[in-house]
Amino acid sequence: MAERRTVRISVDGGTLAVELGAGGRPAVLAVHGVASNCRLWNWLALETPGVSLVTPDLRGRAGSYPVGGPSSIRQHAEDLVRVLDALELSRVPVCGMSMGGFVAVELAVRRPDRVQALVLVDGGFPVAVAPGLTPGEVPAAFAAQLARVSRRWDGIEQYLAHFTAANPLLDARDPLLRDHLEHDLADGRVLLDREAVLSDATDVLFGEHRWRELTVPIEFVYAEWGSGPGTPPAYSASALAEFRAVLPTLGRPRRISGADHAATVMTRAGAAVVGAALHDVMMRCPG
């Protein structure tokens, strides 16, 4: 397991838990997804030993579970400015997965002075909304993800079995996955705020996003499948072509073959592709 330490940083409503990787520079801010935590980046840390990852638990999740107040893509971006200020990081590359990609885009558009470049992993650009889905139906759409919040778990083995049953491309024997899921649990409960998840998910699906205003270098990594083998991906070829047509700073999108949404970063193979994208976009950074 990569060496790390935890600091707490004041934001509106409480303090965020932020894990810092070993080493000094270069530092990269990495932002997890809607129902995840900072140790989503365990695999990337292993693949990028020369980089110091700065990985917050977003408000309402894991070590930042007690942070109060409303949650939104914009609020997370504001929280991350506080993180950069507290750590005296003037301008950094930012890597975001899924909902974290949307937060990274918001941060880069609102504060381009703080973001050198972006790596977006299966998120950050608009996704197709299921026909007929309305904001009021988001709780039903996310019922499976939130089912783990409403029960008490007998221990990590039970929780691990449940998680890998829902994500068949992940390896239950992987110590990095075990560490990630242990970070979720406290006294048999998953530290995940239901209202924060639903608010953020609604924002991702129905909010107004300013991706067309991006000016920084961007690498985009996406999964071959959505949720399990053979399922439709989050991003179609036509959507990817549109993004590239609009954004001259967007490199050629990289597909992770044989991976679904979770496996983009929670497997060694997926993290290797993300790590290569991070290396390449950092090489494109001005200065």
100 Cβ contact list (under 8 Å, min separation 6) = 30, 31, 32, 33, 36, 58, 121, 123
Per-residue pLDDT at 128: 84
Task: Let me know if residue 185 belongs to a domain.
Answer: no
| pLDDT number for residue 143 | 86
pLDDT for position 131: 85
Stated pTM of the model: 0.96
Helices (H) then strands (E): counts for the chain: 10, 10
- Predicted local confidence at residue 23, as pLDDT: 64
pLDDT at site 142: 87
Residue 188 resides in a domain: no
11 within domain boundaries: yes
**What is the reported pLDDT for 78?**
98
The DSSP string of 73-120 is HHHHHHHHHHHHHHTT--SEEEEEETHHHHHHHHHHHH-TTTEEEEEE
Report which of 235, 223, 234 is spatially closest to residue 260, judged by C-alpha positions: 223
Structural domains in the chain (count) = 1
pLDDT digits (tens, 9 = 90+) for 128-166: 888 888 999 999 888 888 889 989 999 999 999 999 999
Residue 198 CB neighbours (<10 A): 19
Q: In the prediction, which pLDDT does 130 show?
A: 83
Give the pLDDT confidence score for residue 2 in this predicted structure. Answer: 63
Phi, psi (rounded to 5 degrees) for 278: -65, -45
**Residue pLDDT tens, the chain, 287 long:** 667 899 999 999 999 999 999 766 689 999 999 999 999 999 999 999 989 999 999 999 999 999 999 999 999 999 999 999 999 999 999 999 999 999 999 999 999 999 999 999 999 999 988 888 899 999 988 888 888 998 999 999 999 999 999 999 999 999 999 999 999 999 999 999 999 999 999 999 999 889 999 999 999 999 999 999 999 999 999 999 999 999 999 999 999 999 999 999 999 999 999 999 999 999 887 65
User: Which pLDDT score, from 0 to 100, does residue 10 have?
Assistant: 98
Q: End-to-end alpha-carbon separation of the chain, Å?
A: 32
**What are the pLDDT digits (tens) for 19-64?**
999 766 689 999 999 999 999 999 999 999 989 999 999 999 999 9
Q: Name the residue range of residue 261's domain.
A: 4-127+194-284
Is residue 135 situated within a structural domain?
A: no
Query: Is residue 279 in some structural domain?
Result: yes
Distance CA 94, CA 167 (A): 26
**Token pair belonging to 115:** 């973001």
Whether 180 is in a domain gets the answer no
CATH number of the domain bearing residue 228 = 3.40.50.1820
* Residue 24 pLDDT: 60
Residue 248: inside a domain: yes
C-alpha 240 chain-centroid distance: 19
Establish if 134 belongs to a structural domain: no
